[in-house]
Amino acid sequence: MAAAPALLVLVVAGTDLLTPDWLHVSPVMAAVPVLAAALLPWRATAVLALGVLVVTALLQWEAGSWGHPDSNVALVSVFVVGLTSLAACSLRQRRERQLHRIRSVAETAQCALMHPLPGRIGPLALSGVYLPAESEARIGGDFYEALRTPYGTRIVIGDVRGKGLQAVGASATLLGAFRDLAHREQSLTKVAEQLDERARRHIAALDGDPDAEDPGDRGAGALFTERFATALLMEFPPGEPVVRIVHCGHPEPYVVHAGEVRSYEPDQPGAPLGLGDLLAARPAAQTVPFVPGDRLVLYTDGFIEARDRRGRFHDLAAQVSAHAGRPLEAMVAALRRDLVRHVRGDLDDDAALVALERLP
């Protein structure tokens, strides 16, 4: 694409030389600096604009129309278009620099809010992917974290309802709470209860009720009916080939065992974070086998509710089955690629996925 303006100069000049004298295509040269302003730096645009002016004058001289009124008008038009293109190019580069700074800030905020997953924690190999609905935002309402704690490796993946800065603030609050509670609370269900309490306090403050200090306050709970977060908490006790799972209204994870893919449906599903006081559903931990060679795939609803242009949902289970034989990193990369291809790059919701494998 960078060579397109120069190529256009050659094509227009050659065409003008080969056509009869009564047909002049040199005015098309005015498109060259416009194209250069959209693709090239300011100096390259200036060189091309000057070159177009010189080439146009030479073509008019060769055709014998130099000095005619229509020739002068064409030269002035090319000159004015060149100056306008330089101004547009300067504005474009300034906007690109601003966008670059904004992206750098967004990437820094993302790293500060949601730490990159480690490749391995003890006997667990991990790999994750995050796709925000707003491609320039870099971060949204989905979140995940993996921590080594005195009680084993603990992992959370969640999805805050809604979008925008409020969703980002809620995910930051829940991530910060999980990082504290995962090291402090011995029981994983207690971690889930405390996260629910933090969520209700956060939403009460957002809705202008800072005095709702009692986490069981019905007013604060009622405000959360439109604001909540689903979450899935997991704990891998040291030395035990099992995983403890606490569901908080989140989609069931997939387990890959001996090449077969199935979902772990909870025996006692819990309420989403922020709705515990309304639904009166206490978190419960479910212990399931997780032996060497097994894999777990955790995800947010962006991976299963994404639709293509025909309205068909993305079949994540089928994709996990198709790529289960690949290495963990390659499997996650393939799942990401399948989702982007399914929606043709147009995500309506944030999507996060974490895959884990117990190593021998």
Condensed to tens digits (0 to 9), the pLDDT of residues 24-33 reads 666 777 888 8
Q: Work out the pLDDT band at 111, boundaries 50, 70, 90.
A: low
Tell whether the model's pLDDT for residue 42 goes beyond 70.
yes
3-state secondary structure the chain: CCCHHHHHHHHHHHHHHHCCCCCCCHHHHHHHHHHHHHHCCHHHHHHHHHHHHHHHHHHHHHHCCCCCHHHHHHHHHHHHHHHHHHHHHHHHHHHHHHHHHHHHHHHHHHHHHCCCCCCEECCEEEEEEEECCCCCCCCCCEEEEEEEECCEEEEEEEEECCCHHHHHHHHHHHHHHHHHHHHHCCCHHHHHHHHHHHHHHHHHHHCCCCCCCCCCCHHHHHHHHHCCEEEEEEEECCCCCEEEEEEEECCCCEEEECCEEEECCCCCCECCECCHHHHCCCCCEEEEECCCCCEEEEECHHHCCCECCCCCECCHHHHHHHHCCCCHHHHHHHHHHHHHHHHCCCCCCCEEEEEEEECC
Least confident of 39-48, 157-166, 292-301: 157-166
Say which residue, 76 or 329, is predicted with more confidence.
329
* pLDDT the model gives residue 211: 47
Average pLDDT over residues 103-131: 82
* pLDDT the model gives residue 210: 47
Question: Which sequence spans correspond to the domains of the chain?
Answer: 4-105, 115-358
Model confidence pLDDT, tens digit, residues 140-175:
678 899 999 999 999 999 998 866 667 777 888 899
Tell whether the model's pLDDT for residue 112 goes beyond 90.
no
Model confidence pLDDT, tens digit, residues 165-207:
677 778 888 998 999 999 999 999 999 999 998 888 877 776 6
Average pLDDT over residues 312-321: 92
Domain 115-358 has CATH 3.40.50.300: no
Average pLDDT over residues 235-257: 93
pLDDT averaged over every residue in the chain: 83
